[in-house]
Amino acid sequence: MERPAWAPSGIDISVPSVSRIYDYYLGGSHNFEVDREAARKAMEFVPGLPKVMQSNRAFMRRAVRFAVDEGVTQFLDIGSGIPTFGNVHEVAQAASPDARVLYVDHDPVAVAHSEAVLAGNAAAAVVAADLRKPADVLGSPQAARLLDLDRPVALLLVSVLHFVEEQDEPHRAVAELRDALPSGSLLILTHASYETMPLPQETVGGAVGVYRDIRNPLVMRPKDEVARFFDGFELVAPGLVKLPEWRPETPVEQEDPYAFSGFAGVGRKA
């Protein structure tokens, strides 16, 4: 298998990666045949997966603009993936020239590509770190340079928590991040759930199995478990809802049924 110029040396391009599969769903070009194969296998069970990802991105953009409108101009995007059109820094910096963005991912391709995209952008950076180790994120030189933890920060956990298994204590990691942020900070979150899918659980389970087979288990949590991530935050209206229902800009009834596959919410720290 030929290694493309953009692929960092040292990564195993024979193993699928969640962030490259996501890139493929969004129509990006930073993925390998092994990623496309896994994506197509998952789509045999859930054909609307690209629509699910687009709906996540659309929510993220609405939430970032909401944060700027609320006066929050610092963004910490953990599990940021491979930057595609309309990423956090583009949306935030278009809405506010003062916006600062720190991306965090543990996928070397995502980090390398983010570095290339952000070259020359002094108000945005990427750090190679893992959501499960908040101290590595908050203690990074990039965080020290970009984030003023005396002022509110918008913490984005979009499409990432469902890749953290219970044994890795996702609620503890979120609580640790929350405790490091000042009052007025926002939590912007989406999460996959069987409850929101337009297909029977057994069918969706086939796609979940594909992720398990590539050693990236997809943990589908019910709404009450997703709501627990907002402990210590007050949900802003309309609360924890299906993706397109969070402050829609276009009529919700025109959305594809797959667009509703996932919960989304924004919480404010008291």
- Tens of pLDDT along 125-168? 999 999 999 999 999 999 999 999 999 999 999 999 999 999 99
- Phi and psi based region of residue 120 (left: phi greater than 0; alpha: psi -120 to 50; beta: remaining): left
Is pLDDT at 206 greater than 80 in this prediction?
Answer: yes
Instruction: Extract long-range pairs of 215-220: CB within 8 Å, 24+ residues apart.
Output: 216/16, 216/17, 216/18, 216/163, 217/163, 217/165, 218/162, 218/163, 218/192, 219/162, 219/163, 219/164, 219/165, 219/166, 219/192, 220/162, 220/192, 220/193, 220/194
Share of the chain above pLDDT 90, in %: 87
CATH of the domain at 137: 3.40.50.150
- Tens of pLDDT along 100-125? 999 999 988 899 889 988 999 999 99
The predicted model scores a pTM of 0.94
Is pLDDT at 34 greater than 80 in this prediction?
Answer: yes
**Residue 34 covered by a domain:** no
Q: What is the pLDDT of residue 48?
A: 97
Q: What is the pLDDT of residue 2?
A: 66
Q: What is the pLDDT of residue 210?
A: 97
- Tens of pLDDT along 47-102? 999 999 999 999 999 999 999 999 999 999 999 998 887 899 999 999 999 999 99
**Residue 179 covered by a domain:** yes
Q: Indicate the angle between helix axes 49-69 and 88-95, nearest 10 degrees.
A: 30
More confident residue, 7 or 229: 229
**Residue 212 covered by a domain:** no
Q: What is the pLDDT of residue 53?
A: 95
Q: What is the pLDDT of residue 109?
A: 84
**Residue 208 covered by a domain:** no
**Residue 19 covered by a domain:** no
- Tens of pLDDT along 185-198? 999 999 999 999 99
* Average pLDDT of the segment spanning 2-22: 80
What is the tally of structural domains in the chain? Answer: 1
- Tens of pLDDT along 220-251? 999 999 999 999 999 999 999 999 999 999 99
- 1 pLDDT band, cuts 50/70/90, is low
Q: What is the pLDDT of residue 201?
A: 97
**Residue 133 covered by a domain:** yes
Range of the domain at 261: 49-200+219-269
- Tens of pLDDT along 12-21? 778 899 999 9
Report which of 80, 84, 102 is spatially closest to residue 23, judged by C-alpha positions: 84
Q: What is the pLDDT of residue 30?
A: 87
Q: Indicate the angle between helix axes 201-213 and 33-45, nearest 10 degrees.
A: 160
**Residue 31 covered by a domain:** no
Q: What is the pLDDT of residue 85?
A: 75
